[in-house]
Structure 1
Amino acid sequence: MQSNNLMMSFHTSLLCLTACICQNLYAQTGSAEPVLLPILKIEATRTDTEWLQTPASVYRIEQDSKANHLGVNLSETLQGVPGLQLNNRENYAQDLQISMRGFGARSTFGVRGIRLYVDGIPASMPDGQGQTSNIDLISLDHIEVLGGPFSALYGNSSGGTILTTTKQGEGQDSIELGYSGGSQHKSRADVVLQGGADQAGEPSYVVSSSYFDTDGYREHSAARKVLSNAKLTWNLDDGSRLNWIVNHVDINADDPQGLNRNQWKNNPKQVNDASNQYDVRKEINQTQTGLTWSKPVSDQHELYAMAYLGHREVIQYQSIPRAPQNNPRHAGGVIDFSRDYYGTDLRWTGKDLLPNTRLTAGLAFDYMDEDRQGYENFNANGQFGVKGNLRRDEQNILWNLDPYLQASWDFMPSWTLDAGLRYSNVHYESNDHYIVTGNGDDSGKTDYDKVLPSAALSWKIKDQLNAYASYAKGFETPTFTEMAYSANEGINFNLRPASSDNYELGVKAQNAWGAFTAAVFQSKTRDDIVSAGTIDGRATYKNADKTRREGIELSWNKNLWRDLTAQASYSYIDATFDAAIPDSTVQKGNKIPGIARNQAFASLGWQPETGFNAGIDVRYMDKIYVDDANSDAASGYSLVSANAGYVWKQADWKVRTFARVDNILDEDYVGSVIVNDGNGRFFEPADGLNWSAGLSVSKVF
Structure 2
Amino acid sequence: MLYALAVVFGSLVWSSIGAAQDTSVEPAPSARETELRDQLKGILQELEDIQHKKEQAAPEAERAPVVKEKTSAPAPESEHETVPEYELADMSIVSKRMQKRPEGVSISATIPAETDSQPTRTMKESMESIPGVVLRQANGPRDFSIMIRGQGAKTAFAVRDIKVYEDGFIQTQSDGLSRLDMQDPWFMRSTEVTRGASSSLYDNYALGGMVQFRTRRGSDINGFEAFLQGGSYGFQKQAFAVGQQFENLDVSLFGSNAAEDGYIRNSDYSTQTINFNLRFKIDDKQNFYFKAISNWLDTRVPTRLTQAQFTTDDRQAGGAQTTCVSGTYMAGCANATLLHQQRIDRRTIVGGIYERQLNAGTVLTIEGDYDVKDINQYFSQITDNVNPNVKSYADLRNDSRVGGMPLRSYVGFFINNMEQEGNTFQNLADGQGTRGSLLQNNRGTIRNIGGRIREELEFVPKWILAAGLGFEQSMISVQSINYTGATPSPVSANRTFYNWAPEVSLSWKPEDGYRTWIRASTGYGIPQFNNLLRDPVTGLPGTNFDLKPQKNLNTEIGTEARLHRTLGVQLVGFWTFFKNEIITQTISGGNTASVNADSSQYRGIEASYDWRPLSGLRLSGAYTHIDARYINFSDRVAAGFLSRDGKNVPNVPTDVLHTKAEYDHALSGWGGWIEASYYNSYFLNNSNTFGIPSYLIANINVHKTVDVKSKWFRFAKFYLELDNIADKKYVASGQVIGGETTAAGASQQAFFAGYGRAIYGGVTLGLF
TM-score range normalised by the length of the shorter chain: 0.7 to 0.9
CA contact (8 A) 1:456 1:468 kept: yes
Larger mean Cα displacement after TM superposition, 274-283 or 562-571? 274-283
Aligned twin of 1:259: 305
Q: 1:539 to 1:626 in 2, by over 3 A?
A: farther
Q: 1:400 to 1:211 in 2, by over 3 A?
A: same
CA contact (8 A) 2:576 2:601 kept: yes
Q: 1:559 to 1:262 in 2, by over 3 A?
A: same
CA contact (8 A) 1:405 1:420 kept: yes
1:48 Cα shift? 6.7
| Aligned partner of 1:359 among 409, 412, 426 | 409
State the Cα deviation string for residues 246-302 of structure 1 (Å, max 9, x = none).
Answer: 111011111111011111101111111355211111110111111112222221111
- Specify the SS of the correspondent of 1:461: coil
1:57 Cα shift? 1.1
| Aligned partner of 2:757 among 681, 689, 693 | 689
Q: 1:281 to 1:591 in 2, by over 3 A?
A: same
| Aligned partner of 2:154 among 81, 89, 106 | 106
Q: Which amino acid aligns with 2:562?
A: Q
Q: Which amino acid aligns with 2:132?
A: G
CA contact (8 A) 2:454 2:469 kept: yes
Matches within 5 A, 1:637-656: 637-651=695-709, 652-656=713-717
Question: Residue 632 in 1 paired to residue 690 in 2?
Answer: yes
Matches within 5 A, 1:146-157: 146-150=194-198, 152-157=200-205
1:494 Cα shift? 3.6
Q: Which amino acid aligns with 2:133?
A: L
Give the distance between the partners of 2:352 and 2:447, measured in 1 at CA: 20
State the Cα deviation string for residues 44-80 of structure 1 (Å, max 9, x = none).
Answer: 89997767x9421101113344313211311012112
Q: 1:193 to 1:140 in 2, by over 3 A?
A: same
Question: Residue 552 in 1 paired to residue 613 in 2?
Answer: no
1:484 Cα shift? 5.4
| Aligned partner of 1:524 among 556, 567, 577 | 577
For structure 1, the residue ranges without an aligned partner over 5 or more in a row are 1-32, 320-332
Superposition RMSD in Å: 2.6
Question: Residue 376 in 1 paired to residue 426 in 2?
Answer: yes
| Aligned partner of 1:212 among 248, 258, 270 | 258
CA contact (8 A) 2:517 2:558 kept: yes
Q: 1:45 to 1:676 in 2, by over 3 A?
A: farther
Question: Residue 659 in 1 paired to residue 705 in 2?
Answer: no
Question: Residue 464 in 1 paired to residue 508 in 2?
Answer: no
CA contact (8 A) 1:475 1:497 kept: yes
- Specify the SS of the correspondent of 1:102: coil
1:173 Cα shift? 5.1
Q: Which amino acid aligns with 1:673?
A: G
Larger mean Cα displacement after TM superposition, 533-542 or 401-410? 533-542
| Aligned partner of 2:388 among 321, 324, 340 | 340
Q: 1:484 to 1:112 in 2, by over 3 A?
A: farther
Larger mean Cα displacement after TM superposition, 53-62 or 102-111? 53-62
Aligned twin of 1:278: 339
Q: Which amino acid aligns with 1:83?
A: G
Aligned twin of 1:287: 348
Q: 1:249 to 1:640 in 2, by over 3 A?
A: same
Aligned twin of 2:46: none
TM-score by length of 2: 0.80
Give the distance between the partners of 2:123 and 2:729, measured in 1 at CA: 22
Question: Residue 591 in 1 paired to residue 648 in 2?
Answer: yes
Q: Which amino acid aligns with 1:602?
A: T
Give the distance between the partners of 1:667 and 1:44, measured in 2 at CA: 40
Aligned twin of 1:182: 231
Give the distance between the partners of 1:225 and 1:413, measured in 2 at CA: 52
Question: Residue 495 in 1 paired to residue 560 in 2?
Answer: no
- Specify the SS of the correspondent of 2:152: coil
Give the distance between the partners of 1:251 and 1:463, measured in 2 at CA: 46
Larger mean Cα displacement after TM superposition, 482-491 or 539-548? 482-491
Give the distance between the partners of 2:200 and 2:435, measured in 1 at CA: 42
Q: 1:558 to 1:284 in 2, by over 3 A?
A: same
Q: Which amino acid aligns with 1:647?
A: T
Aligned twin of 2:132: 83
Give the distance between the partners of 2:341 and 2:590, measured in 1 at CA: 11
Q: Which amino acid aligns with 1:629?
A: S
Q: 1:153 to 1:50 in 2, by over 3 A?
A: closer
Q: 1:378 to 1:493 in 2, by over 3 A?
A: farther
Give the distance between the partners of 1:537 and 1:187, measured in 2 at CA: 42
1:84 Cα shift? 0.5
Aligned twin of 2:678: 620
Give the distance between the partners of 1:356 and 1:484, measured in 2 at CA: 51
Matches within 5 A, 1:90-489: 91-92=139-140, 95-150=143-198, 152-158=200-206, 159-170=208-219, 174-197=223-246, 199-200=247-248, 203-275=249-321, 276-319=337-380, 333-352=381-400, 354=402, 355-378=405-428, 385-432=433-480, 437-483=486-532, 485=534, 487-489=539-541
Larger mean Cα displacement after TM superposition, 429-438 or 111-120? 429-438
Give aligned pairs, total: 648
1:439 Cα shift? 3.9
Question: Residue 607 in 1 paired to residue 660 in 2?
Answer: no
Give the distance between the partners of 1:95 and 1:169, measured in 2 at CA: 27
Larger mean Cα displacement after TM superposition, 369-378 or 511-520? 511-520
Decide which structure has the larger Cα Rg and report it.
Answer: 2
Give the distance between the partners of 1:655 and 1:440, measured in 2 at CA: 63
Aligned twin of 1:669: 730
Q: Which amino acid aligns with 1:369?
A: E
Aligned twin of 1:63: 112
Give the distance between the partners of 1:337 and 1:543, measured in 2 at CA: 27
| Aligned partner of 2:618 among 550, 553, 565 | 565
Give the distance between the partners of 1:302 and 1:100, measured in 2 at CA: 31
CA contact (8 A) 1:61 1:78 kept: yes
CA contact (8 A) 1:44 1:163 kept: no
Q: 1:369 to 1:93 in 2, by over 3 A?
A: farther
CA contact (8 A) 2:384 2:422 kept: yes
Give the distance between the partners of 1:613 and 1:167, measured in 2 at CA: 22
Aligned twin of 1:40: 85
Give the distance between the partners of 2:575 and 2:427, measured in 1 at CA: 45
TM-score by length of 1: 0.87
- Specify the SS of the correspondent of 2:600: strand
Q: 1:192 to 1:538 in 2, by over 3 A?
A: farther
Aligned twin of 1:3: none
Q: 1:558 to 1:279 in 2, by over 3 A?
A: same
Larger mean Cα displacement after TM superposition, 79-88 or 60-69? 60-69
1:586 Cα shift? 5.0
Q: Which amino acid aligns with 2:648?
A: K
Q: 1:268 to 1:539 in 2, by over 3 A?
A: farther
Q: Which amino acid aligns with 1:175?
A: F
State the Cα deviation string for residues 286-341 of structure 1 (Å, max 9, x = none).
Answer: 1111111222222111111111002211111113xxxxxxxxxxxxx111111111
CA contact (8 A) 1:56 1:149 kept: no
Q: 1:533 to 1:86 in 2, by over 3 A?
A: farther
**Seq. identity, %:** 20
Larger mean Cα displacement after TM superposition, 555-564 or 582-591? 582-591
